[in-house]
Amino acid sequence: MAAKYILALDQGTTSSRAIVFDHAGQICSVAQREFTQYFPKPGWVEHNPNEIWASQASVISEAISNININGLDIAGIGITNQRETTIVWDVDTEEPIYNAIVWQDRRTAEYCDVLKGQGLVDQIRNKTGLIIDAYFSGTKIKWILDNVPGARERAAQGKLRFGNVDSWLVWRLTRGEVHVTDVTNASRTMLFNIHDLKWDEDLLKLLDIPVSMMPEVKSSSEVYGHTKTTIFAHEVPISGIAGDQQAALFGQMCIEPGAIKNTYGTGCFVMLNTGNKPVVSKNNLLTTIAWKIGKETTYALEGSIYVGGSVVQWLRDGLGIIKSSSEIEDLASTVQDSAGVYFVPALTGLAAPYWDQYARGTIVGITRGTTAAHIARAALDGIAFQTHDIALAMAKDMEAPLKELKVDGGASRNNLLMQYQANLLGINVVRPKITETTALGAAYLAGLAVGFWKDIDEVKTQWQVERVFEPTHDSEEIQQAKKGWEDAIKRTILPK
């Protein structure tokens, strides 16, 4: 009997999930487990790679046991992952030599300033589509090699391997037989030439990283290998890989040039399909690879927001004005607006389109009348304002107005936030029935590779709208709000 399901592994910044999809693209089973966040120093963020693997393995077992299926029932596995997070492990011991350095980590910011001072901004952008920033994997790899005793010697001997989380999971699932990544994850390392689709020898040399450490780069939809773990009684093909934001773009069926989505997760990530040619941004956005299927590579513009939904976690854990994240909408709804309070959540710096890695969070406009509800409202507004700034930059780069914004991720279920987003942008904000589009995109890529779905046209018919948020507020009120936000940004980005 033919396999009936696709298994998607969604390895995120704060939790690992496994989701089982059927042929109709419907969710049949979900399992999720959070894992520990480590903050050794201010601006440093780490994970334990073995804990990532353990959490992912446990949710795989839980998700398939929930509906009493096994490996024979699964046509393929798709992997989507937190991007840029950097893991280096030893081939002989199969153990990481240091904790995973998370994409949010800023420890290499000063070294990035050194690279900028050497006049390398244009060279690196022209090859990789990226700006020089501690966000990306390249400088994180260098830091590990420079700071872990014996690492450089082991690397020179060809005994170390680098991978983002996708590579680490494939390595563990295949028991070290397969060391691969896909073009989307490779394009986030600051070491990959997005034009010739190869690791760049000059950039590897610049950061003193041996090419022997690097995974083989594959397309986003093909069979990379088969599972060898005891999780499955039978071998299952691993047949799809994409970084989380690219997977969400595909899951949202943003397959035509000009289609745009925003994922409201720990951070927010706005991505716009630019077709088969990379568009060089004039407005501080990233040029990246959206996916590669067969021989065709699709490119995208991307704007990253470091702190999106995690600002709600900070209101809960840091400020203590809510007890659970789900309370934020009710609290914010008790006031008509933020009463002139603006919250720029630069808790780990500002990303696109400002790229100030030293900026820190700012709340302006506080008066004696300011309440916790106003702070909560300003926090949600800040997410929408940041998204607006990126969308505006994308419209300028494309020299065309945006038509609509597709949304997904946890915070997209916040109706107050989505309505304000539509008001700011002046276009419809469209939320699909299945907001787990990151996992869905990985499932689609995996299923297409093994013939579970015939082609993209078949997949496209499964995407359905749950709700459309239409802009409602008058433009004068919105224009005043935008001016207040611009002033708050100026107060956040202080002269150096």
The annotated binding site for sn-glycerol 3-phosphate is made up of: 13, 83-84, 135, 244
E strands within 276-365?
286-293, 296-305, 342-344, 362-364
Burial of 305 (0-12, 13-18, 19+ CB in 10 A): buried
Q: Is 422 left (phi over 0), alpha (psi -120 to 50) or beta?
A: alpha
In the numeric block, which tokens belong to residue 261?
């989505």
Q: What residues form the annotated binding site for glycerol?
A: 83-84, 135, 244-245
Which residues have C-beta within 8 Å of that of residue 45, sequence separation ≥ 6?
Answer: 37, 38, 39, 101, 102, 104, 105, 348
Cα–Cα dist 328/313, whole Å:
10
| Selection from 272, 275, 271 nearest residue 298 by Cα | 275
Distance of CA 485 to CAs 303, 389, 416, Å? 18, 10, 18
Cβ(267)–Cβ(256) below 8 Å: no
Radius of gyration of the chain (CA): 22
Binding residues: 13-15, 17, 83-84, 135, 244-245, 266, 309, 313, 410, 414
Residue with tokens 């869905």: 440
Residue 4 is encoded by which pair of tokens? Answer: 């009936």
SS3 474: coil
Decide if 261 contacts 406 (C-beta within 8 A).
yes
> Distances from the Cα of 222 to the Cαs of 126, 140, 164, 232, 448, in angstroms?
28, 28, 18, 20, 8
Between CA 483 and CA 480 the distance in angstroms is: 5
User: Looking at this protein, which amino acid is placed at residue 204?
Assistant: L
Q: Which amino acid is at 195?
A: H
Other beta carbons less than 10 A from residue 16's beta carbon: 27
Q: Rounded to whole angstroms, how far apart are CA atoms 489 and 491? A: 5
Binding-site residue ranges for ATP: 13-15, 266, 309, 313, 410
End-to-end alpha carbon distance in the chain? 66
Q: Known binding site for ADP: residues?
A: 13, 17, 266, 309, 410, 414
Are 39 and 110 contacting, i.e. CB atoms less than 8 angstroms apart?
no
Report the helix count and the strand count for the chain, using DSSP H and E.
16, 23
Both tokens assigned to 109: 């910011």
12: left (phi over 0), alpha (psi -120 to 50) or beta: beta
